[in-house]
Structure 1
């Protein structure tokens, strides 16, 4: 990943010159952004823009730490509740710096919460096409290897998708193995054991060692209906394990997951945006 970092007046930013494609054009991503003042943030962002222009790139997206596998998005609206585990965070000044530099929102997302006592009221139709199983708690490298392979296939057509290597993926996720709750990691498999879906959930340890909420972080499927069965099993399992609230995390506004979250009666409490800037040719 070709990158350059800049600092100025208590602010910092990193430029990734080989960002995802946006609008059919090669794109640079800007991420790892923080500023103590708007003035310092504006100065360091301008350095990043100048670097990108000097490298002949006209499309910029941010905030994004290189790709969507890593941290990206600004919080754009909030109810001021504490951040949950693995949630992106930023100051209002950081968002304003980008807007004042000409960036506009190009993709929008939300997080919602639902009391588990009201979730998963209706079971999806029974099927013999696949079975839902919990992770058995063994061989985490194999677990994340399977998640990586299915993710690459399931997300390949998503906007801003950029492939990464299996080793890079494992380097991100293996450090969180000690925090995993095997009951909240689910697989959908055909009878021949072919993997057709997964769901990755985790207790919200941002609340402390005994959290009351649980996060539905990511799920994906390659077979119709598998996602619905995974989500239903997740909510039921979380309730049985003593959690009282489910957080539907970081959902794209146009994703099918958004409709499912709304159907569960989940209330949106945070919104996020990915921003873009097109430089003059």
Structure 2
């Protein structure tokens, strides 16, 4: 992956010249790892990044994004008052203004919401013989994440801003979190042949300290109708049994907002995020 870092006395950023497909552009670059002392400093660096990306043949620039959506991306557009949670994107309050002044506009919006586990999981889904749901057995984390990788690539391939990454790069991202994992928060749905048709990845919110009371529903995907409902139901049951009192639905696309509001009793959207883009 070809990158270049721009630094000044009042900021820095990194450009990835081989970003994901976006809006029909032939070549997209991304900009991430942004650290700006002020909105003005950020604007100047972003304008320099746009000039450099264009000189390398890019026709669009998006960010903040560290090369692809597997890595850190998005800025905080509405911070709210809740403390940051584990693995949440971070940005300065002036970052959005810097991007906008440099000619960027919002191209995708996201949110995080929380709900009390006392009001979940709701009615139990209908029994099914099509698949079974099981928790991770706690062994062979590379095998675990290889299965997650394979289903993720298939499930997310048609998502906006998708870009394929190699298994080795995927494992390198997730191995550091293995000591933080709890088996009952990592769930699989398998069909009658044993093939994986869905997964859910949850993790305690250790940003609260060593004994957190909130749990993060980080990622889930399924290729079988009904698997997502069963996975989330079992996740809530297991999280309550482990003593958590709040669930955080992390970094969901705005298109899912109505589903969250109707499906979660007492859900509270506490943070919003944006991905910015511009033509070159």
The TM-score range, normalised by the shorter chain, is: over 0.9
Which aligned runs of 4 or more in structure 1 are off by greater than 6 angstroms? none
Q: Which residue of 2 aligns with 1:140?
A: 141
TM-superposed CA distance for 1:55, in Å, is: 1.1
Cα RMSD for the two superposed structures: 1.2
Q: Secondary structure at the match of 1:233?
A: helix
Q: Which residue of 2 aligns with 1:172?
A: 173
Q: Which residue of 1 aligns with 2:195?
A: 194
Q: Which residue of 2 aligns with 1:13?
A: 13
Q: 1:78 to 1:40 in 2, by over 3 A?
A: closer
Q: 1:262 to 1:63 in 2, by over 3 A?
A: farther
Contact 1:20 1:162 in 2 (8 A): yes
Contact 1:112 1:261 in 2 (8 A): no
Contact 2:44 2:102 in 1 (8 A): no
Q: Which residue of 1 aligns with 2:162?
A: 161
CA distance, structure 2, for counterparts of residue 90 and residue 262 of structure 1: 30
CA distance, structure 1, for counterparts of residue 49 and residue 150 of structure 2: 34
Q: Which residue of 1 aligns with 2:217?
A: 216
Q: Which residue of 2 aligns with 1:46?
A: 47
Residues 121-136 of structure 1: matches in 2 within 5 Å?
Answer: 121-136=122-137
CA distance, structure 2, for counterparts of residue 15 and residue 153 of structure 1: 27
Residues 193-272 of structure 1: matches in 2 within 5 Å?
Answer: 193-255=194-256, 259-260=259-260, 262-265=262-265, 266-272=267-273
Q: Which residue of 1 aligns with 2:67?
A: 66
CA distance, structure 2, for counterparts of residue 125 and residue 5 of structure 1: 53
Contact 2:3 2:17 in 1 (8 A): yes
The unaligned stretches of length 5 or more in structure 1 are none
CA distance, structure 1, for counterparts of residue 95 and residue 236 of structure 2: 35
How many residues matched? Answer: 278
TM-superposed CA distance for 1:9, in Å, is: 2.1
Q: Which residue of 1 aligns with 2:100?
A: 99
Higher mean C-alpha deviation, range 213-222 or range 119-128: 119-128
Q: 1:258 to 1:18 in 2, by over 3 A?
A: farther
Q: Deviations over 1:20-59 (max 9, x none)?
A: 0111112111111111122322222122111111112121
Higher mean C-alpha deviation, range 258-267 or range 233-242: 258-267
Q: Which residue of 1 aligns with 2:30?
A: 29
Contact 1:251 1:258 in 2 (8 A): no
Higher mean C-alpha deviation, range 239-248 or range 265-274: 265-274
TM-score, structure 2 length as denominator? 0.97
TM-superposed CA distance for 1:96, in Å, is: 0.8
Q: Which residue of 1 aligns with 2:184?
A: 183
TM-superposed CA distance for 1:78, in Å, is: 2.6
CA distance, structure 2, for counterparts of residue 262 and residue 204 of structure 1: 24
Q: Secondary structure at the match of 1:76?
A: strand
TM-superposed CA distance for 1:123, in Å, is: 1.1
Contact 1:63 1:73 in 2 (8 A): yes
TM-score, structure 1 length as denominator? 0.96
TM-superposed CA distance for 1:258, in Å, is: 5.8
Q: Secondary structure at the match of 1:41?
A: helix
